Amino acid sequence: MYKILRKGLLAATGVAGLGLILAGSTASAETLDEVLARRGLSQQDLLAAAKTYTPTGKRDEFIVFSSGGQSGQVIVYGVPSMRILKYIAVFTPEPWQGYGYDEESKKVLAQGKIDGRDVPWGDTHHPAITETNGDQDGQYLFINDKSAPRIAVISLHDFETQQIVVNPIMQSEHGGAFVTPNSEYVIEAAQYPGVLGRGFAPLSEFNEKFRGAVTYWKFNREKGRIEPENSFSVELPPYTQDLSDAGKLVSDGWSFTNSFCSERYVGGIERGRPPFEAGCSQNDTDYLHIINWKKAEELYKAGKFSKINDHAVISMQTLIDEGVLALVAEPKSPHGVDVSPDGKYIVVGGKLDTQASVYSFEKIKAAIDAKKFAGKDAYGVPIIALEDALHKQVPLGLGPLHSQYDSKPCVVYTSLYVDSQVAKWDYCEGKVLDKISVHYNIGHLVAMEGETVHPAGKYLIALNKLAIDRFNPVGPLHPQNHQLIDISGEKMELLYDMPLPLGEPHYATAIAADKLKPLVRYKYGTDSRTGEKHPDAVRPGSEKVERNGNKVKVYMTAIRSHFTPEIVEVEEGDEVEFVITNSERAQDETHGFAISTYGVNLSLEPGKTATAKIKADKPGVFSYYCTEFCSALHLEMTGFLVVKPKGFVEQASTGAEGQAYTQADYDKQFKTNTDTQAVIDSVVTYITSMNFKDFPDAVALVEDATDQLKFAGEAKAKAEDFAKKQDWQNATLWAGQWWQYQVKAADIGLRVKTYLEQNGAKKVQ
């Protein structure tokens, strides 16, 4: 081991060795033309590759947060490289992040219980990033669950789910999460109607007893939490509400929710009735709901609501009386509703239509102000005549669904589900500018910051429902296909196909990467799910085991490459809690914690404290270990959970465990350490001769290496102490530990060296 390391250290410190490797690789390279010929690539392919290929060490310009569909997660990837960066666990337990395994995240998942029931998955559809003045600010992310009416709050400081709120009145939802321009509210609209409060009524009373709704969840920016106690809903007719969007600028204070199945059909194919799909697409039009949420907020604050499940609901009658709600006809089975960057227009697609409808907010507002209505629906909600609201209807193709805006004025992109195309068109003039085919059956699409007041343009992603023949077959269940499209020119250009093998993404949102400021490490001892200091976090040196009756609490630390304590003894039947703090300061030094056969699995990022709870119901000796390859001696990052059988009494120790060491062993280890120190010193000399202080990443690594050398010094002192007492057993082992820290310091030192070489560091005078 040592020889290998030493060789490695020397080779890496020798500049000549590095040069040789580079020279060798150039000699064997094919020419560009040869590669094109061999792989059958065109110039067009090459151009697309050049536009997306992201060389090692380089980063993406935009970050996409995509819904993970049935996985109940959020998928994070970069644009233009389309490299997946993370899956954020939201509604579903996820072992890599320890989500649903540690006690802290179990509490978050438990917030998602509905009517006392665990719903350990979700159907995530629409993510939304917090906004300030209509622009994404990168602080928090919201996502809805269609399967059970819930909204989750994810902190973009650490990309972890911190809150789940359950809608108190809906049985089904879809039109969330959409934020108002300053994230005052997170909008969540119902989907399939229900008896508000999730109550019962026979379907024969559908028209009278069933309802739709939109909930406005109050978001407290400072706390980073939704406040259910300051949130309210508006009662709506039992049309199947679909997507929503918030007004912005001129239309700020309003929100728009479309609907389908305004026929209020309840199905019954098994009774000889036509199925839902027939009964829900009979009418030529459905309704766009226009809600003055600022006025609804005033009504809420004035107490003009009743409570259902302790949640404020403003009745439909109050909304009608106060002029808060109006409807306008939309073409058959509408789907997306997307407000333009200037807030003046609302583009609505229609699944069974060929044209997109562009509504004018100005016209809608004028009609409402003048109380100019064409009639009322069955519930007395005023209906604005289509011609009094419409700016234009533009034939685009079959099945226009969702729209996203370009940085260029009046330019919008709309997905065409049936045609499997994206249409680029001008919504001011009402003309189609370009079309591109995608594979296959596009649902949503996302342009960079395309739903904000300042869209960034450049790229568009088609979120396709089917992949069919695009990728290597992997059985009947195919991945999804996200296709990257260049929209910087007049013509759209397809650049890249990315398979997404998780769930079916619906919507995605994309933000400029430099707006995100995620943490590198937690403040020491943080409960990441609350963001607060964990009450049971301990510093190295203060680890302890506390017993209280049959409850045992282990206050543990983890650092390369050991847990403290390493032997935990409990009695059969004890309830044992491991509260573990990762005491690393170094970037990316995550440790895991698993216990054999007890189903324990934690992820401990630097500074994080997390808890595993078990009932020690099976006597035996069970290894616990680190599940992240964190250092050369990662496999040695282990310990024993000793569960003693009831009534077990240990005989006096025979000292029969392990190997015995002599002075010769100690001397040999001592010599090794002295040699290693010489290598470290040479690396240190190199680093300090360079301008490493100009590179924050290098400075952080140097800090870490300095930490390791400090630990090495402490272990060295212990070794020498024992040597003085001629306790060669402990002296040798502590000398070994001293060497362990040296190895870690050397490892980090070499990382710094490589970093400096690759980033053009210079010699300091």
Q: Map 162-217 to HEC letters.
A: EEEEECCCCCCECCCCEECCCCCEEEEEECCCEECCCECCCHHHHHHHCEEEEEEE
Considering only residues 558 through 587, tell me which ones interact with ligand CUA, judged by CB under 6 A.
Answer: 561
Least separation in angstroms between residue 568's CB and ligand K7E is 48
Peptide bond into 11 cis (omega under 30): no
CB of 416 to ligand K7E, least distance (A): 12
Q: State which of residues 211, 392, 424, 444 lies at the interface with ligand K7E (CB under 6 A).
A: 444
Report whether 52 contacts 43 (CB < 8 A). Answer: no
Phi and psi of 658, rounded to 5°? Answer: 80, -175
Site string for ligand K7E, 163-202 (x = CB under 6 A): -----------x----------------------------
Residue from 335, 560, 744, 753 touching ligand K7E (CB under 6 A): that is 335
| Contact with ligand K7E (CB under 6 A) among 121, 405, 496, 507 | 507
Shortest Å distance, C-beta 557 to ligand CUA: 11
Looking at 150, 424, 591, 716, which residue binds ligand CUA (CB under 6 A)? 591
Q: What does DSSP say about strands 567-571 and 638-644: parallel, antiparallel, or unpaired?
A: parallel
Residue closer to ligand CUA (CB basis): 445 or 630: 630
- Residue 599's alpha-carbon distances to 102, 595, 622, 653, 745, in angstroms, are 11, 7, 12, 31, 34
Considering the complex, state which of residue 462 and residue 641 has its C-beta at the smaller distance from ligand K7E.
462
Q: CB of 743: closest distance to ligand K7E in angstroms?
A: 52
Applying CB under 6 A, does 630 fall inside the site for ligand CUA? Answer: yes
456 near ligand K7E, judged by CB under 6 A: no
DSSP 470: S
DSSP per residue, 106-126: HHHHHHT-BTTB------EEE
Q: How far is the CB of 336 from ligand K7E (least distance, A)?
A: 6
- Sequence-separated contacts (24+) of 91-97 with Cβ below 8 Å: 91/119, 91/120, 91/121, 91/122, 91/124, 91/145, 91/150, 91/152, 91/164, 92/120, 92/121, 92/122, 93/120, 95/601, 96/603, 97/160, 97/603
Confirm if 678 and 743 have CB atoms less than 8 A apart.
no
Q: At what angle do helices 32-39 and 43-52 cross, to 10 degrees?
A: 110
Kindly state whether residue 401 participates in binding ligand K7E, applying the rule CB under 6 A.
yes
Please, which residue, 465 or 668, has the CB nearer to ligand K7E?
A: 465
Is 142 a residue that touches ligand K7E (CB under 6 A)? no
Q: Which of 637, 684, 705, 745 lies at the binding interface for ligand CUA (CB under 6 A)?
A: 637
Q: Which is nearer to ligand CUA, 466 or 632 (CB)?
A: 632
Residue 634 binds to ligand CUA (criterion: CB under 6 A): yes
Binding status of residue 591 toward ligand K7E by CB under 6 A: no
Among ligand CUA, ligand K7E, none, the one that 507 touches (CB under a kind-dependent 5 to 8 A) is: ligand K7E
- CA 29 centroid distance within chain: 39
Query: What tokens appear for 13 in the block?
Result: 């410190």
What is the DSSP code string of 379-414? T--EEE-GGGTEEEEEE--S-EEEEEE-SSTTEEEE
Shortest approach of ligand K7E to residue 126 CB, angstroms? Answer: 6
CB of 379 to ligand K7E, least distance (A): 26
**Kind plus residue range of the DSSP H or E element containing 236:** strand 225-236
Quick note: the x/- pattern for ligand K7E over 217-256, rule CB under 6 A, is --------------------------x-------------
225, 391, 506, 562: residue in contact with ligand K7E (rule CB under 6 A): 506
Rounded Cα distance, 337 and 359, in Å: 10
Binding mask 363-382 for ligand K7E (x = CB under 6 A): --------------------
Neighbours of 410 (CB within 10 A): 18
**Residues making contact with ligand K7E (CB under 6 A):** 125-126, 174, 243, 335, 401-402, 443-444, 506-507
Would you tell me which residues interact with ligand CUA (CB under 6 A)? 561, 591, 626, 628-630, 634, 637
